[in-house]
Structure 1
Amino acid sequence: MVDWDFAVSLASRIAGDGPDTTSAEAAAVVAELREGAARSTGLVRDFTGLVAPEDTAPVLVVDRAGWVQANADGFARILEPIIEKLAARKGVPQGLSSAIGSRVTGAEIGFLLGFLGSKVLGQFDPFHDPAGRLLLVAPNVVHVQREISADPHDFRLWVCLHEETHRVQFTANPWLRGHLTDLMQSMADAIEPRAFLEEGPRKIGEIIRGDTSIVEILSSPEQREVLDRVTGVMSLLEGHADVVMDGVGPSVIPSVESIRASFNQRRGGVGTLDRILRRLLGLDAKMAQYREGAVFVRHVVDKVGMTEFNTVWSGPDTLPSRAEILDPDAWIARVL
């Protein structure tokens, strides 16, 4: 149902190669990102108290095409149960119909990956066996650093701090990977594809205005319940990483305040088309996750300290719900 090879080929063309660099400059960036990730492990541990085992979840510095391929592989794993369910419900198309359908879905996924592949600085992939992997996208780091006129060395370490925090979150708490996998399966079990056909055309205006996203339109009531749980988890992870960046930053990154200010401005999108695409794909909601999650983490840490906050990593039952992300005191009352 998905032509993954076509998706990767299209996405790689859309993403492009990135900024021009000399071979020496590219090699230096790759080396510094690897060094920054390794250095960040201890910085994250000292600030958060989370201890990640050694030699788990490798760090890979990749180009845009490498990021596209890695995420296509990840999408294939995540979508497999959904595709199987759709195939069982609709029957598996044959011949020309099958080829055209798989090409169309491949194009849709290829466009998504191509758009994101030119923007993502780094990403922890928790679904890669056996314990996940961290991807740092070198050309995008260079592109954004130049775009916001940041100090190259400060910016690279700043990016590494955020992404390494995600690696530590998952490797210090290995149950988290299985929990997210279970949530993805629950989404698949509750899928109702007719919702998009019935609601999508009438809600295009809401999507463009940013009042909703394609993801929310696709969600049945059962899926929305699971989506709320996923949103709570992702808000925690992203907000926690932002707090670590800002907490550790001043001691090791002299220009951290300038970088944060410029980067926050850039997060809103750099042009009309970019902003529309972000709304369509629900990326504006992701930006809200950073903000709301960071407020949650700071409030709890300020009130009870980092050690008590780390109770959040005990298991699924201690994770905040979407409502608790917006009301940290409710989480404190329930869990602590």
Structure 2
Amino acid sequence: MNSIPATPVPAPAEPGDPTPATAPDVRGSELVDWGFAATAAGRLVPPGPRAGRREVEALVTQLRSAGERAVGPVASTARMETPPGTPPALVVDRPGWIRANAASMGAMLGPVLDDVVSRKREADRQRAEQAGRTLPEVGQRTQKVGSTITGTEVAGILSWISTKVLGQYDLAPQGTPRLLFVAPNILSAERELEVDPSDFRLWVAVHEETHRVQFTAVPWLRQHVIDSARSIGSEMVPEPDRMGQRLGEIVSALPGVLRGETDITQVLATPEQRERLAEVTAVMSLLEGHADVVMDEVGPSVIPSVAEIRRKFQRRRKGAGNVDKMLRRLLGMEAKMRQYRDGAVFVRAVTDQVGVDGFNQVWSSPQTLPRPAEIADPAAWVARVHG
């Protein structure tokens, strides 16, 4: 975090808040203390399964090796190559994953929150002017307390998710994208599933390497996804005068989310926003489905027990306990599971019709990405793109 340069301190305007009345407006990106969230989440999260020092060292070494070994099979199967000079995979523990994602979330959401706060502040100013009064400034102490409270809430979410993720291609809007393997979660999963550790580690690496090749072999894709996510995030925040109404609608719909009758993204979005959200969801379904297909099609010549791993892993996805399922629904992770399934069906159907090279036309431009209806109707995408 960058330090704030020292400036002369004027006399306080009011007791209890040392911020002068001329203080600048609080920016939206300052509403969450991401550094605090990362530190707090790192303290909350359990370290993972018990393992001796030698086992941990061997795990880290093998995961790094799996990341390197996955490059060739993915390139051959997907017919896409990660460019030379791309940073190698980074093996992290749960706090390491949390730090990386807190930084990325802050960079991803910063412009969104800035836009939201700017719109609200302008609406408040207009109402204050109409009422003939002056809009009070938000003191730095008040803002700091608010960002810490929000950071605490984010910390709880990050700590829980950090126990579930096996690997990730971190888009890192603020810096250099990087492939991450979360070592304790991989160790925990392979023990739970009772699968061959070497095969399982390579299987996970192939899935994540596919994501890396998607975003590195297709130069425009990373920024397109970042811009799309920021755009829909900004659109989904209600206008200030509708905030109370939308909160009431969300609260009333939460029981349906918890019962699995709908997902949280549908609750948060208005009917108009759902169209934009469907476009983003279609792209995410493509990315996740493509990675799942490549992961399975690498085949037993590279991963001898691939069929057994897939069978047991699918059972694990379905076998979460009630509390775990509830949290997944609240965080939208149930929708992510559907993305794997729907996207994989789309990829296989298109490949059956036009082959791998024909499927890879999907990466030509944003216009060739599948539209929401085409995920469920692959032939429509083939007809539109291939004629």
Q: 1:196 to 1:105 in 2, by over 3 A?
A: farther
Q: Which residue in 2 is equivalent to 1:205?
A: 255
Structure 1: unaligned runs, 5 residues or longer:
none
Q: Which residue of 2 aligns with 1:183?
A: 228
CA distance in 1, matches of 2:112, 2:382: 36
Aligned mates of 1:233, 1:299 — CA distance in 2: 16
Residue 118 of structure 1 aligns to a residue in which SS? coil
**TM-score normalised by the chain length of structure 2:** 0.83
Post-superposition CA distance 1:268-308 (Å, at most 9, x none): 25211001101111111100000000000011111111111
Task: Name which of 267, 282, 285 aligns with 1:217.
Answer: 267
Going from structure 1 to structure 2, the CA distance change for 1:260 and 1:47 (only over 3 Å counts) comes to: same
State whether residues 103 and 174 of structure 2, in contact with CA within 8 Å, keep that contact through their aligned partners in structure 1: no
Q: Tell me by how many angstroms 1:331 deviates.
A: 0.5
How far apart are the structure 1 equivalents of 2:270 and 2:141? 31
Structure 2 equivalent of residue 88 of structure 1: 118
TM-superposition CA deviations, 1:9-53 (whole Å, max 9, x none): 232233211111111111111111111111111111111111221
The Cα shift of 1:123 comes to: 0.3
Q: Which residue of 2 aligns with 1:297?
A: 347
1:286 maps to which residue? 336
Equivalent residue for 1:132, pick from 177, 186, 210 = 177
Q: Distance between the aligned counterparts of 1:22 and 1:117, measured in 2? A: 21
2:347 aligned partner, one-letter code: V
For residue 250 of structure 1, give the secondary structure of its aligned residue in structure 2: coil
Structure 1 runs (4+) deviating above 4 angstroms are 128-131
Distance in 2 (alpha carbons) for counterparts of 1:100 and 1:129: 25
- Give the partner amino acid of 1:296: F
Larger mean CA deviation between 2-11 and 152-161 belongs to: 2-11
Give deviations 1:53-81, integer Å, cap 9, x for gaps. Answer: 11114411100000000000010011101
Partner SS for 2:168:
strand
**Shift in Å at residue 153 of structure 1?**
0.6
Higher mean alpha-carbon deviation, 216-225 vs 313-322, is at 216-225
Q: Distance in 2 between matches of 1:96 and 1:207?
A: 36
C-alpha deviation, 1:254, in angstroms: 1.4
Cα separation, 2, equivalents of 1:86 and 1:184? 14
Looking at structure 2, the residues matched to 257 and 93 of structure 1 have their Cα atoms a distance apart, in angstroms, of 58
Distance verdict in 2 for CA 1:236–1:52, change over 3 Å: same
Matching residue of 1:322 = 372
Aligned residues of 1:235 and 1:289 also touching (Cα < 8 A): yes
- Structure 2 vs 1, CA of residues 316 and 99 (structure 1 numbering), >3 Å: closer, same or farther? same
The structure 1 residue matched to 2:214, chosen from 142, 151, 169, is: 169
Query: Partner of 1:101 in structure 2?
Result: 146
Kindly tell me: are residues 237 and 159 of structure 1, through their superposed partners in 2, closer, same or farther at Cα, counting changes over 3 Å?
Answer: same
Contact 1:268 1:275 in 2 (8 A): no
Query: 1:101: Cα distance to partner?
Result: 2.0
Q: Give me the identity figure in percent.
A: 50
In structure 2, runs of 5+ residues without a counterpart are 1-30, 122-136
Aligned to 2:130: none
Look up the equivalent residue of 2:199 and give its one-letter code.
Answer: D
Determine whether 1:151 maps to 2:196.
Answer: yes
Partners of 1:11 and 1:114 within 8 A in 2: yes
For the pair shown, which has the larger CA radius of gyration, 1 or 2? Answer: 2
Partner of 1:78: 108
Report the CA distance shift for 1:314/1:210 in structure 2 as closer, same or farther (over 3 A): same
Q: Which has the higher helix share?
A: 1
Given the alignment, which residue of 98, 110, 117 partners 2:162? Answer: 117
Q: Which stretch of the first structure deviates more once superposed, 211-220 or 224-233?
A: 211-220
The answer to whether the 8 A contact 2:104-2:174 is kept is no
Deviation at 1:130, TM superposition (A): 5.3
